[in-house]
Amino acid sequence: MLIQTENLTRHYTIGTYVVQALRGVSLAIENGEYIAITGPSGSGKSTLMHLLGCLDLPTSGKYLLSNTDVTSLSDLELSRLRNQSIGFVFQTFNLLPRVTVMKNVELPLLYAGIDSRIRNEKIEAILERVGLAHRKTHCPNELSGGEMQRVAVARALINNPQVVFADEPTGNLDSKTGKEIMTLFNEIAQEGNTIILVTHDPNIAGYARRQIKMLDGQILEDTK
């Protein structure tokens, strides 16, 4: 099992006020699944994704990622786990604006300590894979939104992660470009990658094989 959670909660305390963003989420996800987490604004989708992506820790509950108890790890171990096992794609792309496509995609390899010959091979291959070989020396501000998101997908995949998370990956794209990005996700899912995407858009969710619907910090429905 890739992901196993038991009764995950996440409370945010603001002064004396407590927001119960997640109120007991139990989930099992296997390698190779293609999942959409849906639900209205404020239902806890991003909070859940941040916990599953080891960007945040739960208030209570259990989270096992590949049988590792995530809550027992140090900050250093967590960042290593994120670098080596997890890829992220965000709505706003989150690319470094002043460096080339190649350098943006290279970052996770640098953190992982991969040597330069192998880095270059991997960069060439992944840019080819997402259809951006001809843009490798461009900077993000010279790219379209769809191209920027392809760079983000390439960066998410470059370390060959166990799971890729995407939070509203088409949220800043027009519908035609959004479809192109979803076609790319379909392809990488078909190649055996595990993908968990968060979206409020039922059309986007329809691309995934399994839908998990959230409401008020809990799972309302799971098509598994």
Ligand X SMILES: Nc1ncnc2c1ncn2[C@@H]1O[C@H](COP(=O)(O)OP(=O)(O)OP(=O)(O)O)[C@@H](O)[C@H]1O
Binding footprint of Mg ion on the chain (CB under 5 A): 46
Residue 177: count other Cβ atoms within 10 Å of its Cβ. Answer: 17
Would you call 69 exposed, middle or buried from its count of C-beta atoms within 10 A (0-12, 13-18, 19+)? Answer: exposed
Binding-site partner at residue 131 among Mg ion, ligand X, none, CB < 5 to 8 Å by type: none
Select 27 or 109, whichever has its Cβ closest to Mg ion: 27
Residue 127: count other Cβ atoms within 10 Å of its Cβ. Answer: 21
According to CB under 6 A, which residues from 5 to 24 bind ligand X?
12, 14, 19, 21
Binding-site partner at residue 76 among Mg ion, ligand X, none, CB < 5 to 8 Å by type: none
Binding-site partner at residue 197 among Mg ion, ligand X, none, CB < 5 to 8 Å by type: none
Q: Rounded CA gap, 46 and 40, in Å? A: 11
If you search the block for the tokens 């992506």, which residue do you land on? 53
Confirm if 101 and 137 have CB atoms less than 8 A apart.
Answer: yes
Q: Which of 47, 85, 149, 170 binds ligand X (CB under 6 A)?
A: 47
Binding-site partner at residue 62 among Mg ion, ligand X, none, CB < 5 to 8 Å by type: none
**Is there binding between residue 116 and ligand X (CB under 6 A)?**
no
Q: Rounded CA gap, 16 and 112, in Å? A: 41
According to CB under 6 A, which residues from 27 to 46 bind ligand X?
39, 41-46
CA distances from 217 to 8, 22, 176, 187, 196 (A): 10, 4, 32, 31, 17
The size of the interface with ligand X (CB under 6 A), counted in residues, is 13
* Chain residues that interact with ligand X, rule: CB under 6 A: 12, 14, 19, 21, 39, 41-47, 200
